[in-house]
Structure 1
Amino acid sequence: MSKGMAAFALHTERLLLRAPSVALTAAVCDYQQRNTAHFARWDPPYPADFFAPETVAERLAQGEQAFAAGSAYRYWFSLREDPARLVGQVHLSQVARGAFQNAILGYSLDEQAQGQGLMQEALRAVIAEMFGAQVRLHRIQAAVRPENQRSRAVLQALGFAQEGLSRRYLFIDGQWRDHEVYALLNPAWAQDLAP
């Protein structure tokens, strides 16, 4: 593997995490349709055809290309005993190299899978991959609405530190919303080590 090439599948004690693939179209459609109302409070507005199977397949194909190019990394995950049913996803976008070595983190979890520690488990695996020798990012940044207590708790449990508040950061659920900015630094990077 060359630098930037992450593993296409990750395994944890309970989870199977997979990179985007058009083969996941039906499972992704099912995940999104099951959780539309649950995610509405936290998601931006979507075009009318956003959840159509052909649109989902197109996004998965684009995600597969971005993953292979090292410009974005998304993992869809399921319980190991039920691999056909997706219960969450983790996405690292805007991967920057050079002096920054940073990515923006986003994630979502099925409404029925909340409160079981699954997101922490998935994020631990993805962070280990992103900070490992193949991808070797220096920093992962996440933005969370202040009222999203569950998401804030997950980030804090994983060692993310709050760095500030971005006012009117994203247009979510009908208005511009403030977000707290959190970041996690890769402890394997020496202070004076050039990228």
Structure 2
Amino acid sequence: MDVKIVSPDDAYRLSKFYEANELHLRAWEPAKEKGFHSVKAWKERLQDWCSPQGNAMSVHFISTTPEGGEVAATCSLTNIARGPFMACHMGYSVHQQYEGKGVMKALCQNVINYAFEELSLNRVMANYMPRNHRSAKLLQSLGFSIEGEAKRYLQINGVWEDHVLTSLLNPGNT
């Protein structure tokens, strides 16, 4: 798989990724309004994310198939904080046909390396719903530590869901 930071040219492939995985991802993501994953909406979003004046508080990555360039997985660093905190949140999703094949772990590892080496962050945080056993296993395999549980942390499909809070600390910082 190829890993890259998203660009405005990725609007079509991201739209197709979310269209193909709508049911697969629905249980784990906040509800989206109609048209949220249209090519037009992705073009607008990516223009903002990728512009020099855009959202410097996030970086978004995709893993694509070598043969067709289709999106196999996404991973984002959001809420990037500088100063004494030097931290961010990491979110991710994988195409249902690549689930359990190591694609997500490889992409997340690349993104974590970017967070620590390129952004010099001290902490990457990732949270998951207690019933999401795949996310628990993924984060554990990446070295994340459980720090606690947040009650009614995020609204997922209209329901306030508890989340397990985890983090990974930059091994180069002491």
TM-score, reference length from structure 2: 0.95
**Equivalence for 1:30:** 16
The whole-number CA distance in structure 1 between the counterparts of 2:83 and 2:71 is 34
Q: Deviations over 1:124-166 (max 9, x none)?
A: 111111111x311000001100000001100000100000000
Alpha-carbon distance between aligned partners in 2 of 1:57 and 1:66, rounded to the nearest angstrom: 16
Aligned twin of 1:99: 84
Gaps of 5+ in 1: 1-14, 191-195
Residue 39 of structure 2 corresponds to 53
The alpha-carbon deviation at position 106 of structure 1 amounts to 0.2
Which whole-Å CA distance do the structure 2 matches of 1:139 and 1:67 have between them?
A: 25
**Structure 1 residue identity aligned to 2:76:** H
Deviations 1:151-194 (A, max 9, x none): 1100000100000000000000221000000000001012xxxx
Unaligned ranges ≥5, structure 2: none
| Whole-angstrom distance in 1 between the partners of 2:163 and 2:100 | 23
Partner of 2:150: 166
Which residue does the alignment assign to 2:2?
Answer: 16
The normalised TM-score by structure 1 is 0.85
Paired residues for 1:44-193 under 5 Å: 44-65=30-51, 70-83=56-69, 85-132=70-117, 134-190=118-174
Call closer, same or farther: CA 1:82–1:67 in 2, change over 3 Å.
Answer: farther
Quote the sequence identity (%).
29
Q: Would you say the 8 A contact 2:31–2:156 is kept in 1?
A: yes
What residue identity is the alignment partner of 1:111? Q
